[in-house]
């Protein structure tokens, strides 16, 4: 991975409507959900224990919404660098299950020039292998 991707792009390439490159993640596994539970401290068993998931009417465990948000966080780091991120806001709209493969996508909504460089308002989302948007949101980044 070479980043930040956007720093080398001209203003014209980052105008409103410009499509950003994709970041495809590896398929989500149950092991990853266990690891994420431990790393994040979210021990809600609907993410790691099928029995608990069944008891609340789910077919099986579902991924933490925050895992898909973390993917979008990585996406912003890749696009703009970790020092550049000013805001990330998301809504969790569809459930994500083990076996799903998420891809982070985005486009520029607006570019503004400020004292400290270029500010970009981005539309970002994670979609699954059926092209359904599972987590959708908006981000602000500042690039040189």
Partner 1 sequence: MDQPPALSRDLIGRESEEVLFEVERGAIRKFAEAVQDQTPECLRGEVAPPTFPTMFRMTIPGLTFDLARVLHGAQEYRYERPLRAGDRVRCRLRVADIYQRQGRLGEMTFLILALEGRDESGSAVFTGSTTAILR
Q: Where on the chain is the footprint of partner 1 (CB under 8 A)?
A: 1, 3, 25-26, 32, 35-36, 38-42, 44-46, 52, 55-56, 64-67, 69-71, 73-74, 76-78, 82-83, 85-92
Shortest spacing between CB 56 and partner 1, in angstroms: 5
For residues 41 and 114, which CB has a smaller minimum distance to partner 1 in the complex? 41
For residues 71 and 118, which CB has a smaller minimum distance to partner 1 in the complex? 71
- Sign (positive/negative) of CA torsion 56, 58, 62, 65? negative
Shortest spacing between CB 131 and partner 1, in angstroms: 21
For residues 67 and 108, which CB has a smaller minimum distance to partner 1 in the complex? 67
Q: Are 105 and 125 in contact (CB under 8 A)?
A: yes
- Token representation of residue 100: 């799903």
Give the number of other CB atoms < 10 A from CB of residue 66. Answer: 16
For residues 18 and 32, which CB has a smaller minimum distance to partner 1 in the complex? 32
Cα-trace Rg, the chain: 17
Shortest spacing between CB 50 and partner 1, in angstroms: 13
Shortest spacing between CB 61 and partner 1, in angstroms: 12
Tokens 């998301």 -> residue: 90
Beta bridge partners of 114: 117
Beta bridge partners of 139: 88, 122
């Amino acid at each position: 991975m070479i980043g930040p991707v956007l720093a080398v792009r001209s203003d014209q390439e980052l105008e409103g409507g410009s499509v950003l490159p994709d970041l495809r993640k590896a398929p989500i596994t149950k092991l990853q959900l266990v690891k994420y539970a431990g790393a994040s401290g979210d021990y809600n068993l609907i993410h790691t224990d099928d029995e608990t998931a069944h008891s609340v009417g789910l077919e099986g465990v579902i991924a933490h919404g925050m895992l898909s948000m973390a993917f979008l966080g990585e996406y912003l780091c890749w696009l703009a660098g970790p020092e550049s991120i000013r805001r990330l806001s998301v809504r969790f709209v569809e459930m994500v299950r083990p076996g799903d493969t998420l891809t982070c996508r985005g486009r520029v909504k607006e570019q503004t020039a400020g004292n400290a460089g270029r500010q970009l308002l981005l539309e970002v989302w994670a979609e699954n292998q059926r092209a359904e948007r599972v987590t959708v949101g908006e981000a602000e980044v500042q690039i040189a």
